Amino acid sequence: MSTLELYSPTDLSDALRFIEHDGRSLAVIASGTDLLPRMRRKQTSPSVLVDISSFTEDLRYVRRSDETIRLGALTTVADLLESPLFHGKLSIIRETAMLFGAPQVRNVATIGGNICSASSSEDLIPVFMALDANLKLVSARGERTVPLEDFIVGKRETSMKPSEILAEVSFSPPGEHSWTAYEKLGRRNMLILAIVNEALSLTLEDDLRTVRSARVALNRVSGKIPALAVKTNAFLVGKKVTDQTISQAQKVLASELSLTSDFRGSGAYRTEVAQVYLRRLMERCTKEIGGPS
Ligand SMILES: Cc1cc2nc3c(=O)[nH]c(=O)nc-3n(C[C@H](O)[C@H](O)[C@H](O)COP(=O)(O)OP(=O)(O)OC[C@H]3O[C@@H](n4cnc5c(N)ncnc54)[C@H](O)[C@@H]3O)c2cc1C
């Protein structure tokens, strides 16, 4: 029978030294709401768990400094709900947190665990992608910053090295004439993994009609899992927001992305929903910015 060891480092430096030098198959554990069910299902079998859950002083915070919002990797979904920062243009984060699991899960589930699980149904990944978030990865050798869109390389695959820990997620709050919104489809309202989830960060020009930038991100994209809708985003730039533009953007979205099929829904159904959500997100954002809907 294989054995499982639990290593409880004294601090972050100790954890980083340990994962740098221990040659066995390791997994960092935050709250374990993703990792432990997967271990029980034998989808992953690390021989050592490195418990970082006590590093709340170093890794659990929600801060705004200058023009950047910084979230420690151990920030919980409930912390997001409690923060006064996530109203108005950033209410996307509050909305997403409210749709996440149930209170028991939200109280412990961390944003770092959500991102590092790189799963096809996670709520926060498309939201942080739409916000153009960067990730700070730390190791015993130093630190590096990676855009989230380059971090996720496939289903349950990231560009994080085995010797690294995710320490922080950061992004700039939306500027003038900008808004963000999120849509999630599940079979019920609580304790449900998304069938489709899609986020948009939209900025209009001073005329409040023309798109300056659009970042649509969604999950369950074949091959990429969570991904930016790069062609749709490029198509929207410079266009006036009209019913016709949105219809054309829906077609670009359907042609650029193939969404996965599983027992929760077919790829074709998901694509239909993703198109409907694109319209809804565009309309919600333009209405909030004050432009035409
Ligand atoms: C009942 C239930 C409902 C759920 N509902 C939702 C939902 O609605 N939406 C949703 O998105 N998810 C949901 N989840 C999934 C899960 O709760 C989230 O993904 C959660 O954010 C994971 O965080 P965690 O702290 O528990 O991560 P863990 O399980 O501890 O870790 C997850 C993965 O990330 C790695 N990891 C964790 N932290 C770090 C770090 N700082 N650096 C490097 N690697 C790290 C671990 O090694 C592991 O591979 C649900 C889970 C359950 C059990």
pLDDT at residue 65, rounded to an integer = 85
Q: Is 58 in the pocket of ligand 1 (CB under 6 A)?
A: no
Which burial class, exposed, middle or buried, applies to 65 when counting CB atoms under 10 A from its CB (0-12, 13-18, 19+)?
A: exposed
Give the closest residue to 131 by CA, choosing from 212, 210, 205, 217: 217
Ligand 1: which atom is nearest the Cα of residue 46? 47
Q: From atom 27 of ligand 1, which residue's Cα is the shortest distance away?
A: 113
Q: pLDDT tier at 293 (50, 70, 90 boundaries)?
A: very low
Q: How far is the CA of 284 from the centre of ligand 1 (A)?
A: 29
pLDDT at residue 185, rounded to an integer:
86
Q: Which helix (H) or strand (E) holds 255?
A: helix 243-256
> Residue of the nearest CA to atom 38 in ligand 1?
113
Digit-coded pLDDT (tens) for 78-106: 999 999 999 999 999 999 999 998 999 99
What's the 203 CA to ligand 1 centre distance in angstroms?
Answer: 31
Q: What is the mean pLDDT of residues 263-287?
A: 93
* Burial 249-281, CB ≥16 within 10 A → b, else e: bbebbbebbbbbeeebbebeebbbbbbebbeeb
Looking at mean pLDDT, say which of 130-134, 150-154, 224-228 comes out highest.
130-134
Nearest CA to ligand 1 atom 10: 122
pLDDT of 22 > 80? The answer is: no
Cβ neighbours for 234, distance < 8 A, ≥ 6 positions apart: none
Element containing residue 136 per DSSP (H, E): strand 134-139
| Position 70 confidence tier, pLDDT thresholds 50, 70, 90 | very high
pLDDT band at 258; cut points 50, 70, 90: confident
Confirm if 46 and 28 have CB atoms less than 8 A apart. no
Of the pLDDT bands very low, low, confident and very high (cuts 50, 70, 90), residue 232 is very high
At 137-148, the pLDDT tens digits run 999 999 999 999
Closest ligand 1 atom to 34 CA: 29
35-46 mean pLDDT: 95
Answer whether 37 contacts ligand 1 (Cβ < 6 A). Answer: yes
